[in-house]
Amino acid sequence: MPSPAAPPAAPIVYVLNGPNLNLLGTREPEIYGHDTLDDIAGQLEDRARELGLEIDMRQSNHEGHLVDWLHEAQAQDAKAVIINAGAFTHTSIAVHDAIKSIRTPVIEVHLSNPHAREKFRHTSFVGRAARGTIAGFGALSYRLALEAAARI
């Protein structure tokens, strides 16, 4: 007797986080809030299940990892990528080019509103390549981005 077919895997959304985001919850909580990256991951996993999605949450302080993971997202046929590139947002042509080189939709996310902060934060190379940007709502920014990813 043939074994029952495995249920189809849920569409995956990569959630990529750049430098210093491993310090969330303790790093400048007056700007970034008290939620840790693990807290945000838990919130996203719960909501992803409700939306019929799966998330793959990652963080690195190294630019090349973000580039590799963007390429991997396309190779794995991810539904979308949510990316908070941290300081690489304002400096990385490499991340910009990686986003432009894949078909997978990319949503830029920020806990704070970069436009309400220092002038050097007003330029986003990530945002120039991304499908859209959600910023300024603390940890809720990630959940809003997941809602958008579910509807793409």
For residue 52, name the pLDDT band (cuts at 50, 70, 90): very high
User: What is the pTM (predicted TM-score) of this model?
Assistant: 0.91
Using an 8 Å Cβ cutoff, are 139 and 111 in contact? yes
Please report whether residue 25 resides in a domain.
yes
Check if 142 is active-site. Answer: no
- Tell me the pLDDT tens digit for each residue of 99-112: 999 999 999 999 98
Please report whether residue 49 resides in a domain.
yes
Among residues 32, 34, 65, 96, the one annotated as catalytic is 32
Please report whether residue 65 resides in a domain.
yes
Residue numbers of the domain that contains 139: 12-151
H runs (alpha helix) in the chain = 29-32, 37-51, 63-75, 93-101, 125-129, 140-151
Please report whether residue 87 resides in a domain.
yes
Looking at residue 72, its pLDDT comes to 98
Looking at residue 2, its pLDDT comes to 55
Among residues 14, 96, 110, 142, the one annotated as catalytic is 110
- If one counts the domains in the chain, the total is 1
Using an 8 Å Cβ cutoff, are 110 and 141 in contact? yes
Please report whether residue 52 resides in a domain.
yes
Partners of 56 in beta bridges: 14
CATH assignment of the domain containing 53:
3.40.50.9100
